[in-house]
Structure 1
Amino acid sequence: MNIRGLSVFRSLDMFSAVSGIFRRSTDSGIPALAVLWAFLSTTVSLACSYSFIHPFWLLHPDYIHSFGVYNYCYNHPKLYRQICDTFGGYFSFSNLPSQAWQAACVLYGSGCSLMFVSTLCACLCLCLSRPCDQRLAVIGGGLQITAALVLILGVLVYPLGTDSDLLSYYCGTSGRYSLGHCDIGWSYMMAIMGSSLAVFCPVLAYFIDTGKSHKNTDVLL
């Protein structure tokens, strides 16, 4: 069997596994929408946190120097290899190259924290012995609305810091939203995708109507 055939079978197996999870959750009394909400919330939380801690939001053409929200990578002159560290050697807002990056660090970091808390709310809906409480979905959805807004603001504010002296030296930037000869890195692309997917999380939370499920159960009893 060729590689393409194996990839198709693996995709079918993955689809069957996901379908089985949804089917078992529905049979056990947990709404499939709650499973989807918890899965999407967990995915967004991991993607945003992963992109936040990695210094690859902007990449230099030499692929050695790169810049993140609060950290960067450079070529160590003595070790002759890439070293990644926070700006200034230790975390401090005063060490960040620009005020825009300070704001982006606060906004995006706060968004990641809110998404993590809301993910716990979504996972509690699956761990509790009874169906998810409507108030828990409302709290999680409200947190995710705020998280999505601050995540998007953080992604939009970050390019305003490209007029800093640091990027002018390494990338030859000439002003805000100017990358010079540097490119957008995979961390920034992941941050954009995570922030975009975060918009759908509160929508799913809104449609989790567990109160209706309780009423239907009472009528049947």
Structure 2
Amino acid sequence: MRDYQDKKSNMVTGSLTCSGVIWSLLSFCGMCLACIGFYMPYWIRGQMTFNQQNYTVNFGIFRRCNYPSNGMFIEECGRYLMFSDIPSNSWRVCTITVGVGCGLAMLVSFIGLFACLIKDILSKRIGRFTGLIQFFAALFIATGCGIYPNGWSHRHVKAACGFTSEEYSLGTCSIDWAYYVTMAGCGVTFICSALSYKAGKTKTGHYTTYAL
């Protein structure tokens, strides 16, 4: 009975401090924001004329909405068929860096959620190591977001944003919500990398064994 009660207590308290619980929840929120922004094709919004009709078009990193294809105008969202079809080299680099950053943020987020329930997953040292991973995750995402505007000079973007569109100058287009969501996820992940230093409990130097 005592072994069962101890085990139940450990499952409730987990291996996180109060600050660690906040860190875990924020890590999950930051990961969700970054991943949603990464996947959604609403980074920039513009207008395109096709057969004397105006259409609202959107570009993400590796996805887009409403685009001409084979003499027709496709009114739906979809990804580019191949990695090489992504219009700009800058956007290809952005796809890799933001994708890697989201993957690292997802890994730490799941570790944090498990640490809320199970004892001896997250010590102070491991907590600081996960914070370092989060720092690099946020750095990758921020780098991708910074590189993305370098691709605004591509002819596909110019067709929707006007021929005044150049690197880091969007012409007649506007930045859409998914870009801001990705940046928000990046900011939250940066904050979490600092909170991780107070996330884990100090281990007592031994692990408790439980009778089955």
Residue 85 of structure 1: SS of its match in structure 2? strand
1:80-91 → structure 2 map (5 Å cutoff): 82-87=75-80, 90-91=81-82
- Matched positions, count: 186
User: Unmatched 5+ residue regions in structure 2?
Assistant: 1-9, 48-53, 206-212
Give the Å deviation of 1:185: 0.4
The aligned counterpart of 1:72 is 64
CA distance in structure 2 between the aligned counterparts of 1:106 and 1:208, rounded to whole angstroms = 29
Where is the strand percentage greater, Structure 1 or Structure 2?
2
Give the Å deviation of 1:197: 1.4
The aligned counterpart of 2:149 is 159
Higher relative contact order structure (alpha carbons within 8 Å, sequence separation ≥ 6) = 2
Name the aligned partner's letter for residue 145 of structure 1.
Answer: F
Residue 76 of structure 2: SS of its match in structure 1? strand
Name the aligned partner's letter for residue 118 of structure 2.
Answer: L
Where is the helix percentage greater, Structure 1 or Structure 2?
1
Q: Summarize the Cα distance change of 1:81–1:171 in structure 2 as closer, same or farther, 3 Å threshold.
A: same
Residue 158 of structure 2: SS of its match in structure 1? helix
Residue 69 of structure 1: SS of its match in structure 2? coil
Deviation by residue 1:131-178 (Cα, 9 ceiling, x = unmatched): 732233133112101101111101111011001111111111431011
CA distance in structure 1 between the aligned counterparts of 2:160 and 2:106, rounded to whole angstroms = 34
Give the Å deviation of 1:129: 3.4
Residue 119 of structure 2: SS of its match in structure 1? coil
Give the Å deviation of 1:109: 0.6
8 Å contact from structure 1 (residues 144, 202) kept in 2 = yes
CA distance in structure 2 between the aligned counterparts of 1:31 and 1:42, rounded to whole angstroms = 16
8 Å contact from structure 2 (residues 124, 197) kept in 1 = no
Give the Å deviation of 1:28: 3.7
Q: Summarize the Cα distance change of 1:131–1:41 in structure 2 as closer, same or farther, 3 Å threshold.
A: same
Give the Å deviation of 1:208: 2.6
Q: Summarize the Cα distance change of 1:80–1:67 in structure 2 as closer, same or farther, 3 Å threshold.
A: closer
CA distance in structure 1 between the aligned counterparts of 2:32 and 2:123, rounded to whole angstroms = 24
> Quick one: which of 40, 50, 73 aligns to 2:36?
50
User: Unmatched 5+ residue regions in structure 1?
Assistant: 1-24, 216-221
8 Å contact from structure 2 (residues 20, 200) kept in 1 = no
Identity of aligned residues (%): 25
8 Å contact from structure 1 (residues 119, 140) kept in 2 = no
In the alignment, does 2:184 pair up with 1:193?
A: yes
RMSD over aligned Cα atoms? 2.6
CA distance in structure 1 between the aligned counterparts of 2:55 and 2:38, rounded to whole angstroms = 19
8 Å contact from structure 1 (residues 121, 136) kept in 2 = no
Name the aligned partner's letter for residue 84 of structure 1.
Answer: C
Q: Summarize the Cα distance change of 1:131–1:73 in structure 2 as closer, same or farther, 3 Å threshold.
A: closer
1:80-159 → structure 2 map (5 Å cutoff): 82-87=75-80, 90-92=81-83, 94-130=84-120, 132-159=122-149
